[in-house]
Every structure is written in C-alpha cells, then in structure tokens.
Amino acid sequence: MAGIKEVAQKAGVSITTASRVLNHVDYPVAAAARKRVEAAARELHYSPSALARALVTRHSGIVGVLVGDMVDPYFAEIARGVEDAARKAGYLVIVCNTDRDPAVERRYVATLSDYRVDALIFVGGDILTQSERRKLKQVLAVATKRGMLVVACAGEHAGLPAIDIDHRAAAHDMTEHLLGLGHQRIGFIGGPADVSTAVQRESGFRSAMSAAGLQPTLIARGDFTYNGGFEAARRLLSKEPPTAIFAANDQMALGALNAALTAGVHVPDDLTVVGFGDTSAAQHARPSLTAVGMPRHEMGLAAMQAVLAALESHTTRVEPRQFPYQILVRKSSAAPSAARAQGELVA
Amino acid sequence: MAGIKEVAQKAGVSITTASRVLNHVDYPVAAAARKRVEAAARELHYSPSALARALVTRHSGIVGVLVGDMVDPYFAEIARGVEDAARKAGYLVIVCNTDRDPAVERRYVATLSDYRVDALIFVGGDILTQSERRKLKQVLAVATKRGMLVVACAGEHAGLPAIDIDHRAAAHDMTEHLLGLGHQRIGFIGGPADVSTAVQRESGFRSAMSAAGLQPTLIARGDFTYNGGFEAARRLLSKEPPTAIFAANDQMALGALNAALTAGVHVPDDLTVVGFGDTSAAQHARPSLTAVGMPRHEMGLAAMQAVLAALESHTTRVEPRQFPYQILVRKSSAAPSAARAQGELVA
DNA sequence: TTGTAAGCGTTATCAT
DNA sequence: ATGATAACGCTTACAA
C-alpha cells in the first residue's frame, strides 16, 4: 500500500531524501527531516519493495540452492549451513529439489536466472554424462554472463569452483581402515553410476583394494536411498557374503545395516558396515555407524561465505576450498571373525 | 543483458508485440512476427526479468515457508511437499529456518513481505505467549493488507487457517493404545512448554490418562531434539521407571529409545517407546518405532495447493483442512512385562 | 542538504 | 494486429 512516495509526502520531503534515510545510507540529512521520515515510515507501515529495489540495483539479495532432495539429511544440513550464512548477511535462499534430474535442474537454473538471484549454489555431485554436462554449462554460461555467481558444494558440478572434500581420498582411507581391520572380502554399495561423487567414492574404494592386491568384485549399486541400500545389501549378502560393506552414503549404509540385522547377521560381529557422510541418523543408529565424516553444515556456511566474498569484492569467480574429512570409527565396524573371514559362516 | 527491448528490436516489432508472444498470451499476433520474436529471443538468450514482471503484476511467484529447522525430517518432509506443489505450479519457495525463535520468525515475515511473496506458509506450532502472538499478528496484519496469503501447516499458528491434524486427539488415541496394552505408569516426554503443538499433544496425553483414572505424573520435557529426548528419558528412567514412554515427537522418541538401550533396558520387553510424526528415521529405527502417523508430504502439498486455489480465485482467505492421523503400531511397543508392571524390576 | 529526473525491465491501457 | 506510453516502486546521477 504505502510506497516511498507516500512516506516522503507525509514527511514533507522528497523521495530522494526519504530513500536516503530509509536506506541508512551515509549521506547528510537534516536530523529533523530524518526523524520525520522515520516516523512517517513507521506510521504507514512502510516496507520497501525489494523487487523494485532489486530491479534498479541489479542485486536481488536472493541465492538459489539446488539440492537433490532436501529431505535427505546430507543435503538438508548443507542447505542449512547456507541458509545460516545467508540470514546473517541479509540474504534469502530459495531451495530447489532437483531429484537429481538434470532436466529439472536446468529448468530451475533458468527460473532462478529469471529471478536474477545473486548466486547459484549446487549441492551434491553432478551427472557425468557429457551431454548433460554440456547442456548445464550452456545455461550456466548465460547465467554467469548475467552476473550470477555459481559455486558447487559437496560435489563436483560442471567444473564449477567447489567447496568440497576429496571424496576419492576419503573413500580410499575408509577402505584402508577396513583393510587394516583385517577385512578382505569387502563389499561396496555404490551410488548411481553417473553421479560424480558416487563415482569418485567408488574409485577410492577400488584403488585402495587394488593397492592391497584385492579384487574389488563385490559391488552393488543403489540410488543413495535407504531402500536402495537395503536391497543392495541383500543382494551382496545372498551370494558370497562379504565381511564388510562400505556404502557410498549414510542412507544406504543404514539400509544395509538393517538388511543385515533383518537377516540375522550381527553387526559388527558378523558384518562390518560403514557409511559416508556422518549424518546424525548415522550417529544415532544402533549400532552407531562408522563413517567418513565431513563438516556439512560448515561447508554450507563456507559456500555462502565464498559467494558473499565474491559479491563484495565484485569478483566474478568464487574461491574454491577443500575441507578435511575424517574416518569416524564407531560401533558398526570391527575385525572380521575368524570363521567368517574364511567364508565358513553363511548368513 | 538482453531485455525484451533488444528482442523486439531484433525482431523488428514493438515491445508490446514481443511481450505478447513471449508470454504466450492469448492475443492475435501474426505468425511471421511471432516466429521472428521467438527466434530473436532464442538467439539473444533472452530471459524475462521476473523481478520487473513481479513489480508490475504485483505477483512475485514466490512463496515463503517458515520452519523451525529444515534439518528435522518432520519439517523437511512438509517443506518438500510444499516445494513439489510449488514447482508444478511454477512457483519458487524460499525456506526460512526460525529455530522456533519468534523474533527471528517475525523478522523473516517482514523480509518476505518486502519481497512481496505471494504467500507465507508457517510450518509447525507457534509460541503460545500472548505477547508473541500479538506481535506476530501485527506483522501479519500488514502482510495480509499487502495482499499476502498466509496459512499454517501442521500446527496452529496465530489463529491462521490451518492444514493440520488434530494433535490433541492423536495423542489421546496413542495414549489409549498404550493403556490398552496394559500400561499404567506411562511417562511423557513433552516438547517446549510454550509451543502449541507440544501443548496440544500433552493435553491429549493427560486427558486420556485422566479418563483412565490415572495420574499423568511422569512428565519430562525436551526441546524436540534427539538429545532432548535422550536426556529426558534418562531422567524418567532414573526414578520410578515407567513401563512406557510417549514422546511428543519422533526425534525425542528416538533419543529415548537409545537412552533406554544404552541403559540396558530392552525395548519393547522392558520398556515401550512411542513417538509422534512417523518420520522415516522412526520407521528405520531398531526396533522400529510405534508412532502417530500423519501425511506430512501430503500436508505440505495441500498447504501449497490451498494457497494456489486462493490465489486463483482471488480469495484472500485460504481454506483450512483437517487430515486424518493414524496410530502406527510397530516394534517398539508391547504389553508391559508382569514384573515391570509392578515396579519390581529396576533399570 | 535537498530535490529533479532518468532509468531498471516488464505489463497493460488505449489508440491506431 | 500492432504499437506508443504510462505505470510498477525504487535508486542514483546530477543539479541546485
């Protein structure tokens, strides 16, 4: 209802003056006028149109966050980090669930582009297909030309600067942890074959196995969901049961854990199960899950902060950053029992 | 870079004509001109400024969702429902985490108001304090006067029309389930004393207990978090251990479950634990959690759909709606063991 | 210190 | 069928 014009009128000053005091800009304004403007604004319940403002300043104060699924705690925690940093800086965040569908993702990028968001934050790995990457890069090209900042978080994405951890190395280390425990028949539950993070984690697993002179043969694949992990574990457990299962993310590890328990396989006595991500659900599982830990909330914060820094310095490139990961040993991993290690015990 | 002006120019038509074809409005435009405009738009990578558009149409195409914490699956699933419906309708959603802080919530309402979002969706119960409610209502008053639609979802909120379930009745029914199982010493882990949903659930518990001639005396309070539930359960278990614990939400029930297990109390043999919400974490817990079920995703969808309906019919009031709840009996509840029912067994 | 006026990129009204 | 032109609500040179 009440625009700046009304406020100015009521305060008996020009729109310019009203704008100046309302924006707290560092500009000389008579104390009296200032007071009148403030009073008028208050009385009229004036609230500046961020839209109009954004139109002229070419700065919307909104950032878009693209996640696979905000219900997955892995994504939720990162998005929360972004939002925390955004709020502190006075930014708003639009959350978009892509369901890992490149087409949906592209459409969102286009829409967010229409809204002239100040930045786009891609959370999670991208789809490796050449054609998909190319298409995404195309829309991103026009987005960046428009001045939009783009950054990836917790996963490689179309070659964008990323706030990330070394997924491959982390998976490699975790595999070594398993190896160190004495496991030889280690099963791996990978994520979708075309998702970059899934591929990197699997690559780390394979390299560690090879380095140990072992064939990474027990590999199943899931879709990063609890059920996907549950089913994959059942498959793995049905033939030559491994003594340990390394799932490419926590959700699947949890599914695997329950699949084992359901099948009467004791964890960790009969089977070790480890995950990747260290979401709180993993920490609260029974037994608690050994997993690769990564500072998700902090990474979300960092992604937004990197965007903020670039925005302030009028840089167009966001500074990438590598975070350390950890191997969090908890109750779901242990040395293989002698019998099981030799494959004598069958579930 | 390229505005509609450039497109019009390149196509050799007026801005008006360009706008008409670009918006697919039902208005006669020569096929030839249309083709030229479309080509020009494509070549120039034209993307309409949703900001400019919103400014003139007074319709931003954005809705704001206010949740306590998007990391809590309870909120995440509802927000996801909202987003799904929003996407389908071409809307974008801004997610705001209030951490259940009324001040933060109000500030967000103000900011979202500045952005002229088309609607505000409050997810979760509000703070009952008279003063807080009044303050919120005030900001909401100016927001609605500005044409913004407001609705509550999964919790009473400042008297707004709500897409909800009957929390009180649900808690009452769940308590009766416990009673029916033979439990008498039933502990309750409530949520914050000033949160409406927490109060309603507790009220349902109390009424069912009273109706059964029992004193609802074993009451602890948490903050709706896993740890809060864990600690509350420890307190409950330390004195006169109840034979059953009803937590006001799943997160706390999960905490209680682990507290029991950690203390060597077997669930459900020695202790029954039930929750409220039926988040997937509850379903995957060991043992799986008996809980009050409510269609969170669907409720989120419904909230957005209600908003959409009001928006389309130019109504200012959103239609409220009651969803049914269920008592989902799973593995964490059972009849009390004879010994324990008499209080002879101590943890 | 203060105000005038030119945009920002669209949509929408009203002629033509 | 098509096109000027006035909003939309604000910021920001540029004057005064």
Predicted local distance difference test score (pLDDT) of residue A240:
87
Predicted local distance difference test score (pLDDT) of residue A338:
66
CB of A62 closer than 8 Å to CB of A115: yes
Q: How far is CA B11 from CA A115, B2, B20, B34, B49, in A?
A: 24, 13, 13, 9, 19
Distance of alpha carbon A69 from alpha carbon B223, whole angstroms: 26
Measured between its terminal Cα atoms, the distance across chain B in Å is: 70
Distance of alpha carbon A203 from alpha carbon A183, whole angstroms: 18
Q: How many CB atoms lie within 10 A of CB B91?
A: 22
Distance of alpha carbon B107 from alpha carbon B55, whole angstroms: 22
Q: List the B29 CA – C14 C1' distance (angstroms).
A: 18
Predicted local distance difference test score (pLDDT) of residue B25:
75
Question: Which of B187, B183, B136, B190 has its CA nearest to residue B167?
Answer: B190
Q: List the A48 CA – D16 C1' distance (angstroms).
A: 28
Give phi and psi for B34, each to the nearest 5. -55, -50
Nucleotide nearest to A11 (CA to C1'): C2
Q: What is the pTM of this model?
A: 0.95
Predicted local distance difference test score (pLDDT) of residue A100:
96
Predicted local distance difference test score (pLDDT) of residue A183:
97
B2 falls in which pLDDT band (50, 70, 90)?
confident
Which of B22, B45, B51 has the most A C-beta neighbours within 10 Å, making it the best mutation to test the interface with A?
B51
Q: Is the pLDDT of residue B102 over 90?
A: yes
CB environment A144-176: b (16+ within 10 A), e (fewer): bebebbbbbbbbbbbebbbbbbbbbebbbbbbb
Identify the segments of chain A with pLDDT beneath 70.
338-347
> Which residue among A51, A71, A258 places its CB closest to the CB of B77?
A71
CB of B175 closer than 8 Å to CB of B211: no
The token pair at B256 is: 């209680």
Q: Is the pLDDT of residue B1 over 80?
A: no
The token pair at B56 is: 């003139």
Strand D bases with any atom < 7 A from protein Cβ = 1-5, 7-13
Give phi and psi for A274, each to the nearest 5. -130, 155
User: How many contacts does A have with B, using Cβ atoms within 8 A?
Assistant: 133
Residues above pLDDT 90, as percent of chain B: 93
Stretch among A16-30, B98-112, B259-273 having the lowest mean pLDDT: A16-30
Q: List the A9 CA – D5 C1' distance (angstroms).
A: 26
Stretch among B26-35, B160-169, B246-255 having the lowest mean pLDDT: B26-35
Q: What is the pLDDT of residues B209-254, one digit of tens each?
A: 999 999 988 999 999 999 999 999 999 999 889 999 999 999 999 9
Q: Is the pLDDT of residue B343 over 50?
A: no
Q: List the B89 CA – C9 C1' distance (angstroms).
A: 24
Q: Which residues of A touch B51 (CB under 8 A)?
A: 51, 54-55, 60, 115-116
What stretch of H or E contains B273?
strand B272-277
Question: Which of B144, B119, B133 has its CA nearest to residue B63?
Answer: B119
A219, A225, A226, A230: CA torsion to nearest 10 = -30
Q: Identify the three-state secondary structure at position A294.
A: coil
Residues above pLDDT 70, as percent of chain B: 97
CB contact under 8 A, B80 and A96: no
The reply to whether A61 has its C-beta less than 7 Å from any atom of strand D is no
CB contact under 8 A, A286 and B62: no
Predicted local distance difference test score (pLDDT) of residue B339:
52
> Which residue among B111, B115, B146 places its CB closest to the CB of A51?
B115
At residue A239's C-alpha, the angle toward residues A236 and A242, to 5°, is 55
Nearest Cα residue in chain B from A256: B284
Nucleotide nearest to A17 (CA to C1'): C2
Nucleotide nearest to A28 (CA to C1'): C1
What residues pair up with B96 in beta bridges, in sequence order?
B66
B344 falls in which pLDDT band (50, 70, 90)?
very low
Q: Which residues, in sequence order, are CB contacts of B73 under 8 Å at separation 6+? A: A71, A73, B250, B279, B280, B281
Q: Is the pLDDT of residue B72 over 70?
A: yes
